[in-house]
Amino acid sequence: MSAAMDDAALAAHLAETAGRILLTVRDSGLFAGKALGKAGDQVANQFLIDALREQRPDDGILSEESKDTPERLAKSRVWIVDPLDGTREYGEGRVDWAVHVALAIDGVARVGAVALPGLDGGVVLATDRAGPLPAAASRPRLAVSRTRPAQEALAVAESLGAELVPMGSAGAKAMAVVRGEVDIYLHSGGQYEWDSAAPAAVALAHGLHASRIDGAPLVYNQRDVAMPDLLICRKEMAESLVAACRNPDTKGRDE
C-alpha cells in the first residue's frame, strides 16, 4: 500500500481488509461462540492498530479493543475504530455485524468507512463512495435492536406509525439507512465514540442527518468517550424525530 493513499481510501481499505480477516478467523472452524468473538476482536484490532501506526504515525488512535491513553486528546487527527461491531452476531454466524474505521479531525468525524463483510461478496460504504439515496418507503421504517429495542425508539416509532425492523450491530443498523433498507436509526441505550464515528461520517457523506437525539452535533475525541445516543435518518425526517425525542412521554428512557 502506498503511504500516499488518501484518508478516505485508507479507511475503506482498512475496513474491507479487517472484514476479510474476520471472515477467515470465523471460517477456520477453530473457535466458536464467545471464543470466536474474542479471537475476531483481537486479530482485527491488532491489524488495524498496526496498519494505522504504519500509515499515519503522527495521528492519534482510539479503539474499543485497545487501552485508551490521553495522548490522543492533544491530536487534531484521531482515528476511531471498532474492529468488530456486533461481536454476538459475528459469533452466531449472522451477517449483521460490521467493521468501523473513522478519522475525526478537530472533533468532527470527517472520514469513515463501514464494512459489512457478512453480506454476499462483502459491502463497504465509505465517505468517498457516496451515491444517491434509494427512495423512502411510504411508511417509515425504524431499525431497532433485535434483542433489546430501546423503549424511547419504540415510543417514537409508535408516535410516527413507523414499522420496526430488528437487526444486529449499530453499524448494520446505520448502514441500513444508507442502503435504503430502513429510514431511521434511533438509539438511546448508551454507546461509545467507536460505535458511531464511522457510521455517522458515512451517513453524512450520503446526505443523511446524523446527530444526538436532541439534535446536538456529534463531537468526537473527548476525554469521556461515552456517546449515549444517536439519530441517523433522512434529512426531511430529522426535525419531527428530534421533536418526538423531546416529548416527555419518550425522553430519558433506556434500553
DSSP secondary structure string for all residues of 95-162: S--EEEEEEEETTEEEEEEEEETTSTT-EEEETTS--PPPPPPSS-EEEEESSS--HHHHHHHHHHTP
Residue 84 labeled ligand binder: yes
How far apart, in whole angstroms, are the C-alpha atoms of residue 175 and residue 161? 22
- Residues 36/25, Cβ–Cβ less than 8 Å: yes
Residue 231 labeled ligand binder: no
Q: Angle, nearest 10°, between helix axes 7-27 and 33-55?
A: 150
C-alpha cell at 41: 476482536
Buried b / exposed e along 48-75 (16+ C-beta atoms within 10 A): bbebbeebbeebbbbbbbeeeeeebeeb
By DSSP bridging, strand 163-167 and strand 141-145 are parallel
Phi and psi torsions of 158, nearest 5°: -65, -40
- Residues 80/194, Cβ–Cβ less than 8 Å: yes
Residue 120 labeled ligand binder: no
Residue 85 labeled ligand binder: yes
CA 249 to chain centre: 28
List binding-site positions: 64, 82, 84-85, 195
User: Annotated binding site for Mg(2+): which residue ranges?
Assistant: 64, 82, 84-85, 195
